[in-house]
């Protein structure tokens, strides 16, 4: 009688483990960006930027970023992507989100923040990686700031390679890399 109970328990355990591998948790806060220059891994800060992280995760889960490019590269400042494809066409996004720049996170080297227009609550899909300490982008009285929502944990060498790209003005957009730097895919890992 003991053998069948053990066998049933073992089969249930194997089934549960298989489900974990087949359907990984979407609650992961670790992100991998696969680019034509290499991979970048970063950790999302869901505690400090819950709205921004949820927005970013939705875009990732939809596959929105797959095939987009890093379209704005400014050495000593940042690299930006997540909104355009190679020919300069901007992808259709969801509605903008609330700005979370008062979260205490600073635009330091290796942090990821949401790009936006001059309107504070205008961020949608575009993000940038700071390649310098850009504290002037932080919230302070009279400056809405830019919401930091994660930090690179691996691949700053890839970010630095992207930063070194030669740029031109394309379709009236400055700082456009001459060589395409494609985001192959972004995944939660």
pLDDT tens per residue across span 143-165: 999 999 999 999 999 999 999 99
* Average pLDDT of every residue of the chain: 93
Domains and CATH numbers, the chain: 26-188 (2.40.100.10)
pLDDT category of residue 17 using cuts at 50, 70 and 90? low
- How much of the chain is in helix, strand and coil states, percent to nearest 5? 25, 30, 45
Spatial contact of 58 and 65, defined as CB atoms under 8 Å apart: no
- Which carries the bigger pLDDT value, residue 4 or residue 82? 82
Give the pLDDT score at 5. Answer: 74
Spatial contact of 128 and 162, defined as CB atoms under 8 Å apart: no
Positive or negative: CA dihedral 98, 136, 128, 111: negative
Give the pLDDT score at 41. Answer: 99
- pLDDT tens-digit series, residues 48-74: 999 999 999 999 999 999 999 999 999
Give the pLDDT score at 94. Answer: 98
CA distances from 4 to 7, 10, 15, 17 (A): 5, 10, 16, 20
Structure tokens at 57: 């995760």
Give the pLDDT score at 3. Answer: 64
| Average of per-residue pLDDT across 31-40 | 99
The pTM for the full model equals 0.87
- Which carries the bigger pLDDT value, residue 25 or residue 35? 35
| Average of per-residue pLDDT across 160-186 | 98
- pLDDT tens-digit series, residues 94-137: 999 999 999 999 999 999 999 999 999 999 999 999 999 999 99
Among 29, 23, 39, 72, residue whose Cα is nearest residue 172:
72
Structure tokens at 100: 């979370």
Among 96, 89, 72, 41, residue whose Cα is nearest residue 167:
72
Is the pLDDT score of 32 beyond 60? yes
Give the pLDDT score at 24. Answer: 52
Backbone angles phi, psi at 43, to 5 degrees: -105, 130
- pLDDT tens-digit series, residues 37-51: 999 999 999 999 999
């Amino acid at each position: 009688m003991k053998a069948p109970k053990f066998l049933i328990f073992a089969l249930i355990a194997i089934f549960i483990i298989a489900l974990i591998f087949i359907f990984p948790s979407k609650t992961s806060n670790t992100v991998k960006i696969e680019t034509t220059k290499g991979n970048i891994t970063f950790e999302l800060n869901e505690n400090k930027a819950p709205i921004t992280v949820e927005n970013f995760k939705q875009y990732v889960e939809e596959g929105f970023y797959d095939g987009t490019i890093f379209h704005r590269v400014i050495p000593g400042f940042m690299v930006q992507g997540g909104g355009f494809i190679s020919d300069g066409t901007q992808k259709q996004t969801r509605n903008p989100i609330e700005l979370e720049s008062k979260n205490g996170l600073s635009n330091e080297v290796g942090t990821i923040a949401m790009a936006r227009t001059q309107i504070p609550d205008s961020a949608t899909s575009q993000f940038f990686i700071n390649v310098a300490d850009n504290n002037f982008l932080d919230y302070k009285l009279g400056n809405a700031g830019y919401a930091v929502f994660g930090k690179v944990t691996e691949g700053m060498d890839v970010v630095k390679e992207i930063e070194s790209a030669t740029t031109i003005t394309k379709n009236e957009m400055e700082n456009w890399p001459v060589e395409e730097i494609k985001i192959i895919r972004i995944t939660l890992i």
